[in-house]
Amino acid sequence: MISRPIARRALMAAGWVVLGLALPRLVGAGSLQISQFNFILSLVMVAVGLNIVWGYAGQLFLGPGALFAVGGYAAGVLAEHHTTMQSLPVMCLSAAVVAVVIGAVMAIPSLRVGGFYLGLVTLFLAFAAPIVAARLTVLGSYAGVSLVSIDSFHQRPSGFALYESGVVLVALLVGYSWVIVNSRLGRRFTAMRASDDLAQAVGVSTYWTKVIAFLLAAVPCGMGGAFYVFSQQIVSPGSVSPTVSLYVFGGVVIGGAGTILGPILGTALVLAANQFLGGFTKYEGIVFGGVVIAMAAGMPSGLVGSTGRVKVWWLRRRHRDVATRRGLPAAVAPPKQDPPEFGRADYTVNARPLVVKVVSRAFGGVRAVVDVSLVVEPGQVHALVGPNGSGKTTLLNLICGFYRLDRGEIWLGSERLDGHRVSEVTRMGVARTFQTPKLSLSDTALGNVVVGADRCSEGSLLGSEVRGRGSREADRGAVERAEQALDNVGLSHLSGTVAAGLSHSTQRLLEIARAVALEPRLLLLDEPAAGLSVAEANVLKDLVRALAQAGLGVLLVEHNLPVVFDVADQVTVLHQGEVIASGSPAEVSTDPDVVRVYLGRRRRDERLVLPT
């Protein structure tokens, strides 16, 4: 039986398709207007591709027009020389294949850089495409490739039928992008869009995932070029100018990157103004630029994406009202108070000790970590404490692979961790949280944890895309593990809440749930109690104890000494990158050097007060 949300979405999608099919007839479009509608459809396809790589995967791609040009020229040249390549389906398929190949050639070197620089590199490709096309005889030079002069070419379908075929093609590409974003690969894209650090912390190889995103985006971009050539029957350097990329990018911004419908509506509106408002052309640069700036400043999520921001605002207000009724601080969504249970997880099976051997790391002339050694045994909570700047987080980053060692060794059981990338260390069994929670704020609490649970899922990414039986079972298993992890930290009642609508302290617990869902051998917690209320701190302590009792080794970095002394079995104290004390909480609390570091002077009774 189909669930109501799925049925509602399917009905809504069918409504948009019907509206798209009927639009030319509703406005009384003639043959010229149909040609303009077809041009809009071709760039809407490009917008679907741009949305995959930018909206879903978060990679700044400013040159989708280059792949549009590749697809258009490939389809045109093949149709010009081979009669078997002249039908619309074959032209679209051949353009998609060529665009993927050229997209790989573009992406593999370009993705060595990121962010703003990636945008510049890809924008250069958009500028280079028409210049290169104009100088290649095989592409018709400045005249381009014309299908009108080819006697064997017949435009079938044509007229309204061709437009309707274009709408169906857009609908299929939208379904293609929906399948991607709602798969295991799509969850990886979401994590990567939030933060490369987050993606690596859940075991995602960010570089190759970015390459995959570009290749998947090349398919709609290439097909858009093929549909343009088939419908307009010509492609030339002028028709693949850099303004194609700017129109599409602006349309995605206005509609809402990362949404299904937003890029389609935004691109259609931008191009409709360009095509149908004759007087607008003279001022389109000023008006278009002003609208994009206004949208980026006032509605950065776009027209469709802003509805999600309204939903987050409403959720925050609802949680504040619930907290007020319960007599709790505003904006705090209280966790459950039931003690966590890890009956389903037996960490003793794969448990391994963490051994840090004489590790050092300097940044220029600053020695951040100096000859630090420690051991975290399975089933043990080992606390790492010290003043700000003492090297605690740096040591965690060395263990995880974010930083390279200057000297020393780090082992997890018989496996050496140092020298491996972060994603590899994660897959070897190390999970961590961050000082500032790294979450996909636009996703639900459950979605944030499922991306961690995916690490233990069986099956391939391709199987996840095609929704095979095994992949469906793997997805269900990941969801079950994620729900259990949320329940363990007391957040099961917030599983459907968007992460941006949660309080900062609740986001910390959510990040721990994601780390637990990775089913690690070792858990690194970086100041998890910061900002937590007393009730939430009690949940955290129960959670840490339960994880240790289940056989998991926990390395806890924390400034809250009462929390540390309440849960830790062993404590290592750092000061200016060096170990100044190590032992049980009782031993460390009376160490003179520790007292001096924390209190700034020596006292007759040199000890830190243990919690009662």
Q: Give a yes or no: residue 309 inside a domain.
A: no
**Shared domain check, 509 and 410:** yes
Tokens 């992008």 belong to residue: 177
Check whether 420 has a pLDDT greater than 60.
yes
Q: Give a yes or no: residue 332 inside a domain.
A: no
**Shared domain check, 487 and 400:** yes
Return all residues near 76 (Cβ < 8 A) that are at least 6 apart: 144, 145, 147, 229, 234, 235
Look up the domain containing 128 and give its range: 4-300
pLDDT of residue 534: 81
**Shared domain check, 79 and 183:** yes
Q: How confident is the model at residue 281 (pLDDT cuts 50, 70, 90)?
A: low
pLDDT of residue 345: 53
**Shared domain check, 386 and 287:** no
pLDDT of residue 98: 96
pLDDT of residue 331: 41
Check whether 337 has a pLDDT greater than 60.
no
Last residue of a domain, one of 236, 271, 300: 300
Average pLDDT score over residue span 504-523: 90
Check whether 328 has a pLDDT greater than 80.
no
Q: How many CB atoms lie within 10 A of CB 138?
A: 11
Average pLDDT score over residue span 6-33: 86
**Shared domain check, 488 and 593:** yes
pLDDT of residue 99: 96
Distance CA 259, CA 255 (A): 8
606 compared with 524, residue with greater pLDDT? 524
Last residue of a domain, one of 278, 300, 322: 300
Average pLDDT score over residue span 232-239: 93
Token pair in block for residue 22: 């009927």
**Shared domain check, 247 and 185:** yes
Check whether 508 has a pLDDT greater than 50.
yes
Alpha carbons within 13 angstroms on the beta-carbon side of residue 130 total 19
Check whether 333 has a pLDDT greater than 90.
no
Q: How confident is the model at residue 553 (pLDDT cuts 50, 70, 90)?
A: very high
Amino acid at 108: I
Q: How confident is the model at residue 303 (pLDDT cuts 50, 70, 90)?
A: confident
152 compared with 603, residue with greater pLDDT? 152
Q: How confident is the model at residue 8 (pLDDT cuts 50, 70, 90)?
A: confident
Last residue of a domain, one of 255, 284, 300: 300
**Shared domain check, 165 and 98:** yes
Q: Give a yes or no: residue 550 inside a domain.
A: yes
570 compared with 316, residue with greater pLDDT? 570
Return all residues near 108 (Cβ < 8 A) that are at least 6 apart: 211
**Shared domain check, 467 and 375:** yes
Spatial strand order of the sheet with 415-416 comes to 366-376, 354-363, 407-412, 415-416
Q: Give a yes or no: residue 348 inside a domain.
A: no
Q: Give a yes or no: residue 247 inside a domain.
A: yes
Check whether 135 has a pLDDT greater than 80.
yes
Distance CA 376, CA 396 (A): 13
Distance CA 109, CA 105 (A): 7
The gap between the terminal CA atoms of the chain, to the nearest Å, is: 56
What is the sign, positive or negative, of the torsion defined by CA atoms of 113, 118, 120, 124? positive
pLDDT of residue 320: 53
The dihedral formed by the CA atoms of 250, 251, 257 and 259, expressed in degrees to the nearest 10: 170
pLDDT of residue 513: 92
**Shared domain check, 242 and 147:** yes
CB 442 within 8 A of CB 500: yes
Distance CA 165, CA 27 (A): 18
Q: Give a yes or no: residue 514 inside a domain.
A: yes
pTM, two decimal places:
0.85
**Domain CATH for 421:** 3.40.50.300
pLDDT of residue 522: 93
Check whether 139 has a pLDDT greater than 50.
yes
pLDDT of residue 301: 73
**Shared domain check, 444 and 578:** yes
pLDDT of residue 171: 95
Check whether 4 has a pLDDT greater than 90.
no
**Shared domain check, 295 and 366:** no
Domains in the chain, number: 2
Distance CA 119, CA 102 (A): 18
Reported as a single tens digit per residue, the pLDDT across 30-87 is 888 999 999 999 999 999 999 999 999 999 899 999 999 999 999 999 999 999 999 9
Amino acid at 193: R
Percent of all residues in the chain with a pLDDT value above 90, rounded to a whole number: 49
The backbone torsions φ and ψ at residue 522, rounded to the nearest 5 degrees and listed phi first, read -140, 140
Q: Give a yes or no: residue 314 inside a domain.
A: no
Tokens 């043990």 belong to residue: 380
Question: Which CA distances in Å does 308 have to 180, 297, 315, 520?
Answer: 20, 17, 10, 33
Collect contacts of 579-588 with beta carbons under 8 A, ≥24 apart: 579/371, 579/372, 579/373, 579/374, 582/374, 585/383, 585/610, 586/610
Average pLDDT score over residue span 343-355: 68
1: burial class by Cβ within 10 Å (0-12, 13-18, 19+)?
Answer: exposed
Check whether 602 has a pLDDT greater than 50.
no
Percent of all residues in the chain with a pLDDT value above 70, rounded to a whole number: 85
**Shared domain check, 139 and 62:** yes
Check whether 340 has a pLDDT greater than 70.
no
Check whether 1 has a pLDDT greater than 50.
no
pLDDT of residue 531: 79
39 compared with 609, residue with greater pLDDT? 39
**Domain CATH for 144:** 1.10.3470
